[in-house]
Amino acid sequence: MPKKKFSWGRDIRCMQQLAFLNLWDRLRGSDKLPRISSLQADDLRRVAGQLIFCDVVRSGGDTRFLIRYQGSQIRRLFGADTVGRYLDDDVIPPIKRGALQMYQRVVERR
């Protein structure tokens, strides 16, 4: 799997997330995911509040993102705990289009 260097502004607008994503990419090597043993607790702790993990759910040609983990800063941004709900139902309208496009690009690059 070819390496992709992510950049500030174009791909991600949070410096901590960018640093974590580049670490993730480096740790995974040629694999799709890094080995869990290669991740350090401090690496996760530094960015946990700014992360959101989603399952990719495909149905009838549509792709949706089911929220499985939501960091504390994301929870404050959304104004609620949205774990178990779909991202497209809960993203704040002014950032919805851009956020969903970014998630869709990630899925398309896999």
The pLDDT of residue 43 is 80
More confidently predicted of 30 and 109 = 30
On whether the CB atoms of residues 83 and 70 are closer than 8 A, the answer is yes
User: What's the whole-model pTM score?
Assistant: 0.71
Q: For residue 98, what are its two tokens?
A: 């851009």
> Residue 9: pLDDT band by 50, 70, 90 thresholds?
low
- Cα of 81 vs its chain's centroid, Å: 16
Residue corresponding to tokens 């704040």? 92
Write the burial class of residue 52 (CB in 10 Å: 0-12 exposed, 13-18 middle, 19+ buried): buried
